[in-house]
Amino acid sequence: MHETFLFYVSFLFFALFHFFQALQEIDLHILEVINHNRIRSLDHFFIFVTNIATVVTYSTAVILLLYSYIKHRFLLQRKSWLVFISLITTSAVADSLKHIVNRTRPFITDPSVHNLVNVSTASFPSGHTAEVFVLATVITLLFRNQKWAVFVAWVWAFLIAYTRLLLGVHYPSDVIGSMIIGGAIGWSFPVFLIRRGFLHRPLKPER
Protein backbone atom coordinates (compact mmCIF):
# COMPACT_ATOMS: atom_id res chain seq x y z
CA MET A 1 0.00 0.00 0.00
CA HIS A 2 2.80 2.35 1.01
CA GLU A 3 4.81 1.54 -2.11
CA THR A 4 1.76 2.09 -4.31
CA PHE A 5 1.20 5.51 -2.74
CA LEU A 6 4.84 6.50 -3.32
CA PHE A 7 4.58 5.32 -6.92
CA TYR A 8 1.54 7.53 -7.62
CA VAL A 9 3.11 10.53 -5.88
CA SER A 10 6.31 10.11 -7.88
CA PHE A 11 4.33 9.73 -11.10
CA LEU A 12 2.33 12.89 -10.27
CA PHE A 13 5.48 14.94 -9.70
CA PHE A 14 7.03 13.53 -12.87
CA ALA A 15 3.91 14.40 -14.90
CA LEU A 16 3.69 17.91 -13.40
CA PHE A 17 7.37 18.54 -14.11
CA HIS A 18 6.98 17.68 -17.78
CA PHE A 19 3.68 19.57 -17.99
CA PHE A 20 5.22 22.80 -16.71
CA GLN A 21 8.31 22.24 -18.85
CA ALA A 22 6.06 21.99 -21.92
CA LEU A 23 4.22 25.16 -20.87
CA GLN A 24 7.55 26.96 -20.51
CA GLU A 25 8.54 25.94 -24.03
CA ILE A 26 5.19 27.13 -25.44
CA ASP A 27 5.54 30.37 -23.45
CA LEU A 28 8.98 31.01 -24.90
CA HIS A 29 7.94 30.07 -28.44
CA ILE A 30 5.03 32.56 -28.43
CA LEU A 31 7.34 35.26 -27.13
CA GLU A 32 9.92 34.54 -29.83
CA VAL A 33 7.27 34.82 -32.55
CA ILE A 34 6.15 38.23 -31.24
CA ASN A 35 9.64 39.51 -30.51
CA HIS A 36 11.33 38.31 -33.72
CA ASN A 37 8.53 39.39 -36.08
CA ARG A 38 8.04 42.90 -34.78
CA ILE A 39 8.10 45.92 -37.10
CA ARG A 40 11.54 47.20 -36.22
CA SER A 41 10.87 50.71 -37.49
CA LEU A 42 8.39 51.06 -34.59
CA ASP A 43 10.87 49.96 -31.91
CA HIS A 44 11.49 53.50 -30.66
CA PHE A 45 7.76 54.19 -30.46
CA PHE A 46 7.09 51.10 -28.34
CA ILE A 47 10.11 51.81 -26.14
CA PHE A 48 8.78 55.34 -25.55
CA VAL A 49 5.29 54.03 -24.78
CA THR A 50 6.50 51.42 -22.30
CA ASN A 51 8.83 53.93 -20.61
CA ILE A 52 6.00 56.38 -19.91
CA ALA A 53 3.45 53.71 -18.93
CA THR A 54 3.74 54.04 -15.16
CA VAL A 55 3.96 57.85 -15.26
CA VAL A 56 0.88 58.17 -17.47
CA THR A 57 -1.09 55.62 -15.45
CA TYR A 58 -0.40 57.24 -12.08
CA SER A 59 -0.76 60.75 -13.51
CA THR A 60 -4.26 59.84 -14.65
CA ALA A 61 -5.22 58.90 -11.10
CA VAL A 62 -3.57 61.98 -9.56
CA ILE A 63 -5.09 64.41 -12.10
CA LEU A 64 -8.52 62.88 -11.54
CA LEU A 65 -8.09 63.24 -7.78
CA LEU A 66 -6.95 66.88 -8.02
CA TYR A 67 -9.77 67.76 -10.40
CA SER A 68 -12.35 66.27 -8.04
CA TYR A 69 -11.12 68.47 -5.16
CA ILE A 70 -10.86 71.60 -7.29
CA LYS A 71 -14.45 71.11 -8.42
CA HIS A 72 -15.58 70.08 -4.90
CA ARG A 73 -17.32 66.98 -6.23
CA PHE A 74 -17.63 64.55 -3.35
CA LEU A 75 -18.64 61.46 -5.36
CA LEU A 76 -15.83 62.01 -7.84
CA GLN A 77 -13.40 62.43 -4.94
CA ARG A 78 -14.36 59.05 -3.56
CA LYS A 79 -14.14 57.38 -6.97
CA SER A 80 -10.74 59.00 -7.54
CA TRP A 81 -9.48 57.64 -4.24
CA LEU A 82 -10.63 54.17 -5.25
CA VAL A 83 -8.65 54.49 -8.50
CA PHE A 84 -5.53 55.74 -6.73
CA ILE A 85 -5.59 53.23 -3.86
CA SER A 86 -6.27 50.35 -6.26
CA LEU A 87 -3.18 51.36 -8.25
CA ILE A 88 -0.97 51.52 -5.15
CA THR A 89 -2.29 48.17 -3.93
CA THR A 90 -1.61 46.54 -7.29
CA SER A 91 1.94 47.91 -7.44
CA ALA A 92 2.62 46.59 -3.93
CA VAL A 93 1.24 43.13 -4.79
CA ALA A 94 3.21 42.99 -8.05
CA ASP A 95 6.47 44.01 -6.37
CA SER A 96 5.96 41.45 -3.60
CA LEU A 97 5.26 38.65 -6.08
CA LYS A 98 8.40 39.54 -8.03
CA HIS A 99 10.51 38.83 -4.95
CA ILE A 100 8.59 35.69 -4.04
CA VAL A 101 8.46 34.06 -7.50
CA ASN A 102 11.80 35.46 -8.69
CA ARG A 103 11.36 34.27 -12.27
CA THR A 104 14.27 34.86 -14.63
CA ARG A 105 13.68 37.26 -17.50
CA PRO A 106 13.16 35.56 -20.90
CA PHE A 107 16.11 37.25 -22.59
CA ILE A 108 18.38 35.73 -19.94
CA THR A 109 16.85 32.27 -20.35
CA ASP A 110 16.99 32.53 -24.14
CA PRO A 111 19.63 34.92 -25.57
CA SER A 112 17.84 34.87 -28.95
CA VAL A 113 15.13 37.06 -27.40
CA HIS A 114 15.98 40.70 -28.08
CA ASN A 115 15.46 42.86 -24.99
CA LEU A 116 15.09 46.47 -26.13
CA VAL A 117 14.85 48.05 -22.67
CA ASN A 118 17.03 47.59 -19.61
CA VAL A 119 15.42 45.77 -16.67
CA SER A 120 16.98 44.28 -13.56
CA THR A 121 14.01 42.95 -11.58
CA ALA A 122 12.36 39.53 -11.81
CA SER A 123 10.01 38.66 -14.65
CA PHE A 124 6.75 37.63 -12.96
CA PRO A 125 4.48 39.50 -12.76
CA SER A 126 4.65 42.43 -15.16
CA GLY A 127 4.19 45.52 -13.01
CA HIS A 128 3.42 47.68 -16.04
CA THR A 129 0.66 45.34 -17.20
CA ALA A 130 -0.87 44.93 -13.75
CA GLU A 131 -1.03 48.72 -13.28
CA VAL A 132 -2.69 49.50 -16.60
CA PHE A 133 -5.20 46.67 -16.20
CA VAL A 134 -6.20 47.73 -12.71
CA LEU A 135 -6.70 51.26 -14.05
CA ALA A 136 -8.83 50.06 -16.98
CA THR A 137 -10.90 47.80 -14.71
CA VAL A 138 -11.58 50.49 -12.10
CA ILE A 139 -12.49 53.07 -14.73
CA THR A 140 -14.88 50.58 -16.31
CA LEU A 141 -16.45 49.88 -12.92
CA LEU A 142 -16.75 53.47 -11.71
CA PHE A 143 -17.13 55.46 -14.94
CA ARG A 144 -19.05 53.06 -17.18
CA ASN A 145 -21.17 55.91 -18.58
CA GLN A 146 -18.02 57.61 -19.87
CA LYS A 147 -17.64 55.34 -22.88
CA TRP A 148 -14.69 57.26 -24.33
CA ALA A 149 -12.74 56.97 -21.08
CA VAL A 150 -13.40 53.24 -20.85
CA PHE A 151 -12.34 52.74 -24.47
CA VAL A 152 -9.12 54.74 -24.09
CA ALA A 153 -8.26 52.94 -20.84
CA TRP A 154 -8.55 49.50 -22.43
CA VAL A 155 -6.65 50.49 -25.56
CA TRP A 156 -3.88 51.81 -23.30
CA ALA A 157 -3.93 48.61 -21.21
CA PHE A 158 -3.60 46.21 -24.14
CA LEU A 159 -1.00 48.43 -25.83
CA ILE A 160 1.24 48.35 -22.76
CA ALA A 161 0.77 44.60 -22.32
CA TYR A 162 1.77 44.06 -25.95
CA THR A 163 4.88 46.24 -25.64
CA ARG A 164 6.16 44.12 -22.74
CA LEU A 165 6.18 41.09 -25.04
CA LEU A 166 7.38 42.86 -28.16
CA LEU A 167 10.31 44.36 -26.25
CA GLY A 168 11.29 40.91 -24.98
CA VAL A 169 11.16 41.59 -21.24
CA HIS A 170 8.26 39.32 -20.23
CA TYR A 171 6.85 35.91 -21.03
CA PRO A 172 3.22 35.75 -22.23
CA SER A 173 2.33 34.01 -18.95
CA ASP A 174 3.81 36.98 -17.04
CA VAL A 175 1.52 39.32 -18.92
CA ILE A 176 -1.58 37.11 -18.67
CA GLY A 177 -0.99 36.64 -14.94
CA SER A 178 -0.63 40.39 -14.53
CA MET A 179 -3.87 40.99 -16.41
CA ILE A 180 -5.61 38.69 -13.94
CA ILE A 181 -3.98 40.38 -10.94
CA GLY A 182 -4.85 43.88 -12.15
CA GLY A 183 -8.37 42.91 -13.14
CA ALA A 184 -9.03 41.09 -9.86
CA ILE A 185 -7.83 43.95 -7.66
CA GLY A 186 -9.48 46.56 -9.88
CA TRP A 187 -12.83 44.83 -9.44
CA SER A 188 -12.79 43.30 -5.96
CA PHE A 189 -11.20 46.12 -3.98
CA PRO A 190 -13.57 48.92 -5.11
CA VAL A 191 -16.63 46.63 -4.90
CA PHE A 192 -15.63 45.66 -1.34
CA LEU A 193 -15.51 49.32 -0.26
CA ILE A 194 -18.57 50.40 -2.27
CA ARG A 195 -20.69 47.73 -0.61
CA ARG A 196 -19.63 49.16 2.73
CA GLY A 197 -20.82 52.64 1.79
CA PHE A 198 -17.53 54.21 0.77
CA LEU A 199 -19.21 56.32 -1.89
CA HIS A 200 -21.84 57.61 0.54
CA ARG A 201 -20.05 58.35 3.81
CA PRO A 202 -18.33 61.75 4.20
CA LEU A 203 -14.57 61.75 4.69
CA LYS A 204 -14.99 63.64 8.00
CA PRO A 205 -17.97 63.63 10.37
CA GLU A 206 -20.07 66.76 10.04
CA ARG A 207 -20.02 69.19 12.96
Q: 135-174: per-residue pLDDT in tens?
A: 999 999 999 999 999 999 999 999 999 999 999 999 999 9
Q: How many helices (H) and strands (E) does the chain have?
A: 8, 0
**CB-CB contact of 86 with 61 (8 Å):** no
Mean predicted lDDT score pLDDT of the chain = 86
Average pLDDT in the 73-99 region? 93
Q: How far is it, in rounded angstroms, from Cα 168 to Cα 124?
A: 13
Q: Residue 8 pLDDT > 70, yes or no? A: no
Per-residue pLDDT band for 11 (boundaries 50, 70, 90) equals very low
The total number of residues shown for the chain amounts to: 207
pTM for the complete prediction? 0.85
For 96, the enclosing helix (H) or strand (E) is helix 74-101
Distances (CA, A) of 141 to 20, 25, 98, 176, 195: 35, 36, 27, 20, 13
What's the confidence (pLDDT) of residue 164? 94
DSSP at 73: -
